[in-house]
Amino acid sequence: MKDSSQTIYQALKNAGINFVVSLPCVNLGKLMEMVECDIDVIHVPVNREEEGFGICAGAYLGGKKTAILMQNSGLGNSVNVLASLYKLYKIPIIMIISHRGTEGEFMNAQVPMGEATTGVLDALEITYFNPKTPEDALKLISKAVTHADMESVPVGILLEISFW
Amino acid sequence: MERIEAIQKITEQLNDELIICNIGFPSRELYAVKDSPNNFYMLGSMGMASSIGLGLALAQKRRVVVLDGDGSLLMNLGSLVTIFNQKPNNLILVILDNGCYGSTGSQCSYASTVNLSRVAEAVGFKNLFLFWNEIDFSEILNINESIFVHVKVEKGNADVPVIDIEPEDIKSRFIEEVIGR
Ligand SMILES: Cc1ncc(C[n+]2csc(CCOP(=O)(O)OP(=O)(O)O)c2C)c(N)n1
Ligand SMILES: [Mg+2]
């Protein structure tokens, strides 16, 4: 089986993503390093995911193809920007989301937001994919990017604990 | 100085800069003073002006001017830290500081007791400008580093209409201006 982080990185590269913002989750560490080391990708670490969405919206206005790397809790931090900036103006972005609070979670504290995550995405009418394996991710991220570009909308990639 | 006067004085001195303008009356006032495809009017996402400006500045070479508000900067104060660390050389962050949430009825913000210039200075900003009456951008436009411009303005809003451009059109004409040439 392919390496999970390497596959996500490859899928983002294949799709032409060249501007990435991030806020760590334990599962995102390796992916963040790969993005940081890539001189063809602008990588901006942020203090809060909402801010990251603002930065990516600006980068999109400047011609970049953007992605955010975040934990699902960061989605909770970003509801308003997704509605009143992304949805309002029709702005695309790929959201690579480490979905904590899913099967195999060792911290109970992650469960409430973990369970709320798909409901929040549904409420925002955001399309999301749920790849279970790296092979799956390669295909679905490519599909997600096409959808985001065609419809000019955010698309989520939910990566459960078992994925990593 | 009223906020609309400040906006007028600033835009008069700009040439070809891209403007990201804060939600509420600031955008309406800019629209009334001088509409242009160079302007991105925010209609929501309070707090995001400085972040949108940072992303735009990092993504392309043209100079970006953010017209932000004190209340909005306070909502996303971490943005100052990110801007300082990313060090775009084409970003001018202007805070139109009326010490209040002007667009919602001028309720006091904490900028009435905390000096935002000193916050920016503590974060590390080297290029700091403070204006009370006159606004002079001649020196500012010659600096190729991130710049923090603090403009003190009076409370209150000008009697100007709402922006009658669809959000998608604000976006697409702006993108065309940035990328389409
Ligand atoms: C998240 C969120 N909270 C509250 C509001 C309501 N609101 C709209 S504009 C505004 C005031 C912004 O104040 P400031 O940035 O200082 O700009 P000013 O109007 O004073 O120039 C507020 C509170 C909002 N639109 N979004
Ligand atoms: Mg204000």
CA nearest ligand 1 atom 24, residue: B46
Q: Do B58 and A89 touch (CB under 8 A)?
A: no
pLDDT of res. A93: 98
ipTM, interface predicted TM-score of the complex: 0.98
C-alpha pair distances (Å), A54 with each of A82, A99, B42, B166 = 9, 22, 11, 20
Determine contact: B82 vs chain A, CB below 8 A.
Answer: yes
Question: A4-159, what's its fold?
Answer: Rossmann fold (3.40.50)
Query: Which of B72, B76, B112, B153 has most ligand 1 atoms within 8 Å of CB, for mutation?
Result: B72
Query: Which of B104, B108, B160, B162 has most ligand 1 atoms within 8 Å of CB, for mutation?
Result: B104
Burial B154-177 (b: 16+ CB within 10 A, else e): ebebeeeeebeeebeebbbbbbeb
**Largest CA-CA distance found in chain B, in angstroms, rounded:** 45
What gap in Å lies between CA A145 and CA A157, rounded to an integer? 10
- CB contact at 8 A, A127 and A158: no
- Which sequence spans correspond to the domains of chain A? 4-159
What gap in Å lies between CA B30 and CA A16, rounded to an integer? 35
**Largest CA-CA distance found in chain A, in angstroms, rounded:** 41
pLDDT of res. B174: 98
Q: Do B56 and A85 touch (CB under 8 A)?
A: no
What DSSP state is assigned to residue B169? H
Tokens of B79: 């943005």
What gap in Å lies between CA A105 and CA A53, rounded to an integer? 27
pLDDT in tens, A41-89: 999 999 999 999 999 999 999 999 999 999 999 999 999 999 999 999 9
Question: B3-179, what's its fold?
Answer: Rossmann fold (3.40.50)
pLDDT band at A151 (very low <50, low <70, confident <90, very high): very high
Could you list the pLDDT tens digit for every one of the 181 residues in chain B?
Answer: 999 999 999 999 999 999 999 999 999 999 999 999 999 999 999 999 999 999 999 999 999 999 999 999 999 999 999 999 999 999 999 999 999 999 999 999 999 999 999 999 999 999 999 999 999 999 999 999 999 999 999 999 999 999 999 999 999 999 999 998 5
Residues with CB under 6 A from ligand 1: A 80; B 3, 22-26, 46, 69-72, 96, 98, 100-104, 109
Neighbours of B128 (CB within 10 A): 13
User: From the CA of B73, how far away is ligand 1's center (Å)?
Assistant: 10
pLDDT of res. A1: 60
Per the confidence metrics, is the pTM higher than 0.90?
Answer: yes
Q: Do A88 and B43 touch (CB under 8 A)?
A: yes
What DSSP state is assigned to residue B44? S
pLDDT of res. B180: 86
